[in-house]
A and B are shown apart, each in its own frame.
Chain A
């Protein structure tokens, strides 16, 4: 039996057992950043963005995302190591910035932000947190945050230095190959040179 037929059979079995409880498609969040929107960032789900510091791109992606998304949505940035630099952001970029001191503190802040229900896009920045702190975040914590995002409908984006989150709905990797002189280029010149690719994606039953 081919894979799609198996999924359809599973869906029928679930419907028979659990009634017509439908897995509502939460839709995707239009951030305004074209390079990210083509991946259809899903509302109510956790997306991991792996940004290796050896190939700069994470900060550029984050800055572009904030510049485009903040006018459209209510955005919160949970800064795991107080690393974000607002200098160089457009004037008046008003989002909620939570300056945490460690990954465990950032996880607690994320729990509050994601469950709130008023925030459309929650971004968690863990790129500068030590690997030892990140290893201590267990899988069930990410699972709980995923469940909270589903319940509240918040799009939850987590920037990590390496692949951490096994149950992420989608894992993207971002990198850019820039010379040192690119530090002087404009953002409009740099953003198209960002390479963003999907490493892994989980589909819901409806998308299957």
Chain B
């Protein structure tokens, strides 16, 4: 049995700096303000030590950047670490903040390259610098991880432990002080001492220290259920007022979510976007992805299409993006099926068309159950089988003018004889009609009209007289 330990050095600082990779190259420290005085909790800065006051630290390192802890980011970082570990094996323990231990499957043999490709690389893309240690027991694996660069596989525990400092065993301070006084500074030197004599001098604590110095003992892992929450969120230092920076952040979120889902072999089935505004209001929108995917470009386009038609009265001060995972589709279309080649692309096209012409002007034609002329609407696009027509279709189809064109019509013997309109004016050579129609007489939508079909030198037109006014409804084609 072997174990892998994933270790994030400076975990709390890494969690806070995740969205700012450039900050890894400047002196930075995390300030803990819970005590009487703010003190340095973690630091990546020369001459700055944990426990110093802020004044001391800035005096020693003038260019020091100070960051406040972010519990939300730490929780998110721990989830990401556990999800990454799950890519190796389902048996994962949340050993501590920034530490995950995995029981590796015995039938698989992992090399350093495997860990770099599956753990180090993906976590680096997500903004984390992780170290991986592999050994025969969990405690030794963690020790290996602390001294890995970035992967360390321990095959000979004794030679690995030989030159490590005794402080690596994490002894109690007074015990460490005694060993230091004896001149015992490395684990190799400690293990050369006789165990019984050391225990007689230092007590049972020394026995545990000795066992760790000899490579530790196997222990069962406390397996955790990895939360299936794939969420990225942030509170902005400076509010966002335009679309471009918002899309930039959302793209970054999508890349991270895609990377995290890739590690657990999942795709996105739904996306939930939450925007928090300066005035305290929030906006929430759920997107159903027709064909679940991890394709960042496609998902970006979907968000962009929606946000281009969205306006808000206040700047954005926070945002969240949550993905609902799903298994990748493994269905194969039938030979005779007419499925969409790219359902997500089609959904994006429909969304863009709706944004262009209006949501009520894109879809499948629907004729209402009414005798009212031009009682047509559109319904959401859905493919359905066409029913066979029981009776043959009649008549020349009409191209309609919407709205109908106002016209002046002269009549002779109560038949239209001359039409004058912005589109056409001229004599009527032949007229068929009138067809008198009325409907909805029982309510406010009552209508009544008289229709004529007329032939002119410009084509066949349908005229309608509504009250005293004439309109050109359409042209027969």
**Interface of A toward B, CB cutoff 8 Å:** 51, 53-60, 62-63, 67, 70-71, 73-74, 81-101, 105, 108-109, 112-113, 116-118, 127-128, 178-188, 190
Contacts and interface: CB of A to CB of B under 8 A. Distances in A.
B476 A56 contact: yes
Most-contacted residue by chain B among A89, A98, A127 (CB, 10 A): A98
B72 interface: no
A96 B386 contact: no
B475 A53 contact: yes
Interface residues of B, number: 57
Given A86-B376, A95-B364, 17 more contacts: A54-B458, A56-B475, A59-B397, A60-B396, A62-B477, A63-B393, A74-B383, A82-B361, A83-B401, A85-B398, A89-B365, A93-B365, A108-B356, A113-B349, A118-B349, A180-B453, A185-B394
8 contacts: A53-B459, A54-B457, A56-B460, A82-B402, A118-B343, A180-B432, A184-B394, A186-B394
B430 interface: yes
Given A53-B477, A94-B384, A101 B357 contact: yes
A59 B476 CA distance: 7
B387 interface: yes
A56 B395 contact: no
B199 interface: no
B389 A184 contact: no
B87 to A, nearest CB: 33
Contact of A59 (B401, B432, B477): B477
B376 to A, nearest CB: 5
Nearest to A99: B361
Contact of B356 (A112, A116, A184): A112
B384 to A, nearest CB: 5
Given A82-B402, A91-B387, A118 B342 contact: yes
B263 interface: no
B455 interface: yes
B344 to A, nearest CB: 10
Contacts, number: 177
Contact of B397 (A63, A97, A101, A180): A63
Interface of B: 338, 340-343, 345-346, 349-350, 352-353, 356-357, 361-367, 374-376, 378, 381-389, 392-402, 430, 432, 453-455, 457-460, 474-477
B399 A99 contact: no
Contacts of A116: 345-346, 349
Given A54-B457, A109-B353, A97 B387 contact: no
Nearest to B400: A85
B378 A53 contact: no
Contact of A90 (B342, B386, B455): B386
A117 B393 contact: no
Contacts of B455: 179-180
Contacts of A86: 365-367, 376
Q: Which of B365, B374, B457 has the most CB of A within 10 A?
A: B365
Contacts of A81: 402
A186 B459 CA distance: 19
A190 B397 CA distance: 11
A1 to B, nearest CB: 44
Which of A54, A55, A70 has the largest number of chain B CB atoms within 10 A? Answer: A54
B396 A85 contact: no
A120 to B, nearest CB: 9
Contacts of B374: 85, 87
Most buried by A among B345, B357, B366, B385: B357
Contacts of B400: 82-85
Contacts of B346: 116, 118
Given A183-B453, A187-B393, A85 B430 contact: no
Q: Which 4 A-B pairs have the closest CB atoms?
A: A59-B477, A86-B365, A59-B397, A99-B361
B342 to A, nearest CB: 6
A54 B357 contact: no
Contacts of A62: 397, 477
A84 B338 CA distance: 26
Contacts of A83: 399-402, 474
Nearest to A185: B394
A117 B341 contact: yes
A183 B476 contact: yes
A88 B386 contact: no
B115 to A, nearest CB: 40
Contacts of B357: 98-101, 105, 109
Contacts of A105: 356-357
A186 B400 CA distance: 20
A91 B432 contact: no
Taking each of B346, B374, B430, which has the highest tally of chain A beta carbons within 10 Å of its own beta carbon? B346
A180 B459 CA distance: 10
A147 B346 CA distance: 19
B364 A59 contact: no
Nearest to B346: A118
A55 B387 CA distance: 31
B392 to A, nearest CB: 4
B363 to A, nearest CB: 7
